[in-house]
């Protein structure tokens, strides 16, 4: 990758983090979980329509790369993950310093406390299933032959299902941890574990496709 390509990838990842942060904010602000899950899909829809870079949308395609392209794609994934983190942290920091934080603080703290009190095995399992859904959402959107209605519906359905099921999304959680102000070594380890789970889930369908096809 050239320096210019790295810069563009990072910028697109940063913008994805901002989108996730905005979606996370409205999710925390809305008392109804069903409505919140629907509105959260704004983030993934924006990311896909504008060509931003989201880790959970990109990791599944690692297993489809040719061996010679794997090192460059791993660098791309690192830049995306880092950019997503910074974007989410930026939104979280700004929200914490606004009056909106008074409304969101208690909800964010409760959400984060539940996640951080969970066991590693549980976090890995919940992240795994989220990874499957995120790959399905992105891949469905990319397949124009499926038709616009199905492609857009798949995005909203996959997002709603992962949220209402309580599955763990490493990037979304970066925002929740940021707005709640609970970053620590243990928090980082939890995010890394969720990243692993999302990655494993994201690889399942494309690997299965290699066997199916």
**Measured distance CA(62)–CA(65) in Å, rounded:** 6
**Measured distance CA(99)–CA(62) in Å, rounded:** 41
Q: How confident is the model at residue 54 (pLDDT cuts 50, 70, 90)?
A: very high
pTM for the complete prediction? 0.94
Do the Cβ atoms of 183 and 112 come closer than 8 Å? no
Mean pLDDT, range 105-130, rounded to an integer = 96
The pLDDT value given to residue 212? 87
What mean pLDDT is reported for the chain?
95
Do the Cβ atoms of 163 and 41 come closer than 8 Å? no
The pLDDT value given to residue 120? 97
Domain spans of the chain? 3-207
How large is the angle between the packed helices 148-164 and 33-50, nearest 10 degrees?
A: 130
pLDDT above 90 covers what percent of the chain? Answer: 90
Q: Supply the CATH classification number for the domain 3-207.
A: 1.20.1080.10
| Model pLDDT for residues 14-24, shown as the tens digit of each residue | 999 999 999 99
| Model pLDDT for residues 70-104, shown as the tens digit of each residue | 999 999 999 999 999 999 999 999 999 999 888 89
| Model pLDDT for residues 157-174, shown as the tens digit of each residue | 999 999 999 999 999 999
* Torsion over CA: 167, 95, 59, 30 (sign): positive
**In the predicted structure, residue 132 carries a pLDDT above the cut 80:** yes
């Amino acid at each position: 990758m050239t320096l210019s390509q790295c810069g563009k990838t990072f910028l697109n990842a940063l913008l994805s983090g901002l989108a996730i942060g905005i979606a996370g904010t409205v999710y925390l602000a809305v008392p109804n979980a069903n409505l919140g899950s629907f509105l959260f899909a704004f983030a993934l829809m924006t990311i896909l329509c504008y060509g931003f870079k989201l880790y959970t949308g990109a990791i599944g395609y690692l297993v489809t790369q040719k061996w010679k392209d794997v090192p460059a794609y791993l660098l791309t994934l690192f830049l995306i993950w880092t950019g997503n983190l910074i974007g989410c942290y930026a939104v979280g920091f700004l929200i914490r310093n606004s009056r909106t934080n008074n409304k969101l603080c208690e909800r964010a703290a409760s959400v984060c406390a539940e996640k951080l009190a969970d066991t590693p095995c549980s976090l890995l399992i919940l992240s795994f299933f989220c990874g499957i859904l995120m790959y399905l959402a992105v891949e469905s959107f990319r397949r124009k032959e499926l038709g616009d209605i199905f492609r857009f519906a798949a995005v909203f359905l996959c997002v709603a299902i992962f949220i209402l099921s309580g599955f763990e999304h490493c990037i979304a959680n970066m925002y929740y941890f940021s707005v709640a102000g609970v970053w620590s070594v243990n928090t980082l380890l939890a995010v890394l574990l969720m990243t692993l789970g999302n990655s494993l889930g994201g690889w399942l369908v494309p690997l299965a496709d290699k066997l199916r096809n």
